[in-house]
């Protein structure tokens, strides 16, 4: 999942955005999500969102034609979301990601009708559940219903509790659609049968390492995977669930890991205090050393 880099004047830095896509591919990404939550879609103008979609599609087509492209098409209402779906479809995106409508909290039936309506736009849909940001929790039962809607192909889940949240989710979906988890529950998702993860750019190399190790079927590799998972969760500050500086922390971490200038979040949001970055830089070498072990 891409952050949207800004320059010192708060404008989109398309040079850095292209560098970010290239960095993701070099580090093993099979696809990208354009303007997701960490890409600040909610504070971008319509024109900026479309420019990002156009740029990323053009950049990928010229360099990485096999890269799977997902557009964030979320908004606060059905007509506008369908409009973004049509734009993404016309540009040639492979799928659209959207969370439930935000600001006013919808009912379960309103959320179901929202996804059912957007799915008629012919763009394959990824359901995105991030209750701390959208203020709506897609329960396992509702996820099971959504998975039956034609046109919905996958679900991206950020919740991390295996017993209370993830196991019921996988049981309710019954393999009808693919499930992707956050980097914080990446190994848990794999044990339950996920198809991988929608991963914040800064955590990408570490999750790719775990995914490749998982494919070996080696018990020793599984133990190493869990070491990496624990270290990832220790090194990177918590996100939207527990961190008021969520988007600023994300952009800072992305810059530190990729060495690409990401800029500050759009006002009023801010970068975290300097000590947060210093703490991350102090811990990161331990994680990098951990993933360097072995040849997997």
CA pair distance 76, 48, nearest whole angstrom? 17
* Cβ neighbour number for residue 116 with a 10 Å cutoff: 18
Cα(147)–Cα(115) distance, integer angstroms: 10
The answer to whether residues 138 and 111 touch, using CB atoms and an 8 Å cutoff, is yes
Alpha helices in the chain (DSSP H): 14-26, 46-63, 78-91, 108-118, 131-134, 140-146, 167-173, 186-192, 204-216, 219-235, 246-258, 274-292
pLDDT digits (tens, 9 = 90+) for 263-292: 999 999 999 999 999 999 999 999 999 988
* Weakly modelled stretches of the chain, pLDDT under 50: 296
Q: What is the DSSP letter of 12?
A: B
Is 128 catalytic? The answer is: yes
CA distances 51 to 61, 202, 215, 232, 283, Å, are 15, 23, 37, 33, 36
pLDDT digits (tens, 9 = 90+) for 235-248: 997 765 566 678 99
pLDDT at site 200 = 96
What does the pLDDT read at residue 243? 65
Exactly one of 57, 93, 115, 156 is catalytic; name it: 156
Q: Tell me if the bond preceding 210 is cis, omega within 30° of 0.
A: no
Q: What is the pLDDT of residue 294?
A: 59
Q: Which of 9, 3, 5 is nearest to 34 (CA)?
A: 3
Which residue among the candidates 93, 115, 128, 180 is catalytic per the annotation? 128
Q: Report pLDDT for 239.
A: 63
pLDDT number for residue 240: 55
Task: Note the pLDDT of residue 219.
Answer: 78
156 given a catalytic annotation: yes
CA distance 127 to 106: 15
């Amino acid at each position: 999942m891409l952050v949207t880099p800004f320059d010192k004047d708060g404008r989109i830095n398309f040079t850095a955005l292209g560098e970010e896509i290239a960095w993701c591919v070099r580090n093993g990404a099979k696809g990208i999500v354009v303007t997701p939550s960490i890409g600040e879609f909610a504070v971008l103008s319509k024109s900026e969102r479309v420019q990002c979609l156009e740029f990323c599609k053009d950049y990928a087509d010229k360099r990485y034609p096999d890269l799977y492209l997902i557009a964030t098409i979320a908004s606060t209402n059905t007509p506008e979301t369908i409009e973004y779906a049509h734009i993404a479809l016309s540009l040639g995106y492979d799928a659209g990601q959207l969370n439930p409508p935000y600001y006013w909290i919808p009912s379960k039936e309103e959320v179901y009708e929202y996804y059912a309506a957007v799915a008629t736009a012919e763009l394959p849909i990824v359901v995105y559940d991030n209750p701390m940001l959208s203020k709506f929790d897609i329960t396992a039962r509702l996820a099971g219903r959504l998975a039956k809607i034609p046109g919905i192909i996958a679900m991206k889940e950020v919740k991390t509790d295996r017993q209370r949240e993830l196991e019921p989710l996988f049981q309710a979906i019954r393999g009808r659609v693919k499930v992707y988890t956050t980097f914080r529950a990446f190994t848990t998702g794999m044990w339950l049968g996920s198809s991988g993860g929608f991963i914040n750019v800064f955590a990408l190399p570490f999750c790719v390492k775990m995914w490749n190790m998982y494919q070996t079927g080696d018990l020793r590799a599984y133990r190493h995977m869990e070491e990496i998972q624990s270290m990832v969760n220790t090194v990177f500050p918590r996100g939207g669930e527990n961190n008021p500086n969520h988007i600023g922390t994300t952009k800072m971490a992305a810059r530190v890991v990729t060495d690409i200038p990401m800029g500050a979040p759009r006002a009023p949001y801010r970068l975290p205090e300097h000590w947060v970055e210093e703490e991350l830089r102090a811990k990161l070498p331990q994680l990098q050393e951990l993933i360097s072990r072995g040849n997997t």
